[in-house]
Structure 1
């Protein structure tokens, strides 16, 4: 039997440890499905990432090694079923119609997988000596790609606090409580930000499209708004751990 002074859970698999620790989670179903795949176009990627807000959901196209892309396409469940039933050629045409010609024609579509999109928030990130980070603490919609960055900051903060402790004494529970307090602002802000984006761009209320388009135009014309968004999305709006600032733990 393995013994440890603390237990850390990260990723979707960490939900089992979360449940065993008696930590509740608030789960909201977005009624969307993510279709994920690797794909290639006639124009190799050069490190550029794209995100398009389509009527059915956001479409993220991210560069990967070898000049291809990783694609995350959020759509309604019925639309996902239609797209998954298509052959590679027809799916590539649908993807081209949604994304446009920015990367050229899609000439290779890898294996497609799907998963439901949820917002899951643990009621607390620390219980005794159990610590939740990453998706075990908060599983976000992939819009704006903030879940991964948030999880990295969780891990960097925990590493910094443990490295600063002279030894794991019984007071470790106090240290973990301070960890939870440190991460609370960043977790809350990024969760609200991504949830707000999903609901803003997913709204089908009359006039919602006009409001979205006008808001995006104003944002595109405002360097100040872009800088503020960058600071929030990268966690610069709150206290940053050393590793996230490119510093060592020493």
Structure 2
């Protein structure tokens, strides 16, 4: 997972960052290019006055750190668990779930739906979602390279879709290769040597020879947007609110800002209301909804727009995007605006993402 600087600060505030910092690989430069064409763009952390544009963290490492910190709190964890139904109750919301010990009903004055794009909790609250299929599949794998990545993240746009190489530890890069479903199926069947040959042809030799590939995984790409982000005693965050194409690496960071914003709204309400604090009352939830609206809409449109622009096969569109990339590469203000957007530093920023306590 690629973490923005804002996400790093959120993890610092939660005491998670010290547990993953050693395994986090900084992204100091981003290089974007269009295969077989003249368009390219570069973003440099030093030119933005930053130590890094972001960090790549292995999901397993991040998950272990989050579980460890959670175990140090007074939070009661029910896991594994499967939600089977959810419903509003007087002054609360009830969650029906299956635990190892059998069925259970949990009630709370506020429930947060954070159970993914196909959220059972969101749907049970009567909140629908808009869903678009991109007719693309992402192939994910670790790749070893002849040359050290030098902390550069590469995004290469190809006729079949974007190909990203993210810097990782131990001389590896993280591959996210977007292909049409039928092409992805064919590529996944290739032996490692043939797979690397095909990948080399698409990516080029900026990292020298691609020497080894790990286990390959695939998942279909789509865009899902919830029709609403609050309901009676319910807040919707993360992929349950919006599930994005990985082209700009913004999905997890956007969801983390959802969580940090909701936490801040609740912390402020608790201070303001003292003994009468009710986390699920409508005015509190409305503040969360209003705050997150602009950030969500901006990132969703930005990400979806990138997908559509860089998958257009028409010559005039290709020419315009190449000229646009070259113009962007020569305009520091545009780079600063884009880097601020991608770092989660546009609009109202949660206190945790600024490095301040709740």
Q: Give the alignment's TM-score, normalised by structure 2.
A: 0.66
> Could you say which residue in structure 1 is the equivalent of 2:111?
7
Residue by residue over 1:165-197, the C-alpha shift from the partner in whole angstroms, topping out at 9 and shown as x without a partner, is 226427632111110110000000010001111
> Could you say which residue in structure 2 is the equivalent of 1:121?
225
- 1:7 deviation in Å? 1.4
Q: Describe the SS at the equivalent of 1:3.
A: strand
- Computing the radius of gyration from Cα coordinates, the structure with the larger value is 2
Residue pair 1:40, 1:67 contacting (<8 A) in 2 also: yes
Report 1:59-74 matches (<5 A). Answer: 59-74=163-178
Is 1:142 the equivalent of 2:246?
yes
- 1:231 deviation in Å? 2.1
Q: Describe the SS at the equivalent of 1:29.
A: strand
Q: Describe the SS at the equivalent of 2:107.
A: coil
In structure 1, distance between residues paired with 2:234 and 2:344: 24
Structure 1, unpaired ranges of 5+: none
Q: CA 1:11–1:223 in 2, change beyond 3 Å: closer, same or farther?
A: farther
Report 1:198-237 matches (<5 A). Answer: 198-237=307-346
> Could you say which residue in structure 1 is the equivalent of 2:202?
98
Structure 2, unpaired ranges of 5+: 1-104
Q: Describe the SS at the equivalent of 1:92.
A: helix
Residue by residue over 1:72-103, the C-alpha shift from the partner in whole angstroms, topping out at 9 and shown as x without a partner, is 11111121112111111111111111111122
In structure 2, distance between residues paired with 1:144 and 1:2: 37
Residue pair 2:110, 2:280 contacting (<8 A) in 1 also: no
Q: Give the alignment's TM-score, normalised by structure 1.
A: 0.93
Is 1:133 the equivalent of 2:237?
yes
Report 1:35-50 matches (<5 A). Answer: 35-50=139-154
Counting matched residue pairs gives 249
Which has the larger helix fraction?
1
> Could you say which residue in structure 1 is the equivalent of 2:124?
20
- 1:11 deviation in Å? 5.0
> Could you say which residue in structure 2 is the equivalent of 1:241?
350
Which has the larger strand fraction?
2
In structure 1, distance between residues paired with 2:279 and 2:321: 52
Residue pair 1:46, 1:67 contacting (<8 A) in 2 also: no
- 1:122 deviation in Å? 0.2
Is 1:192 the equivalent of 2:296?
no
- 1:65 deviation in Å? 3.1
In structure 2, distance between residues paired with 1:238 and 1:14: 28
Residue pair 2:117, 2:243 contacting (<8 A) in 1 also: no
More moved, 47-56 vs 140-149: 47-56
> Could you say which residue in structure 2 is the equivalent of 1:111?
215
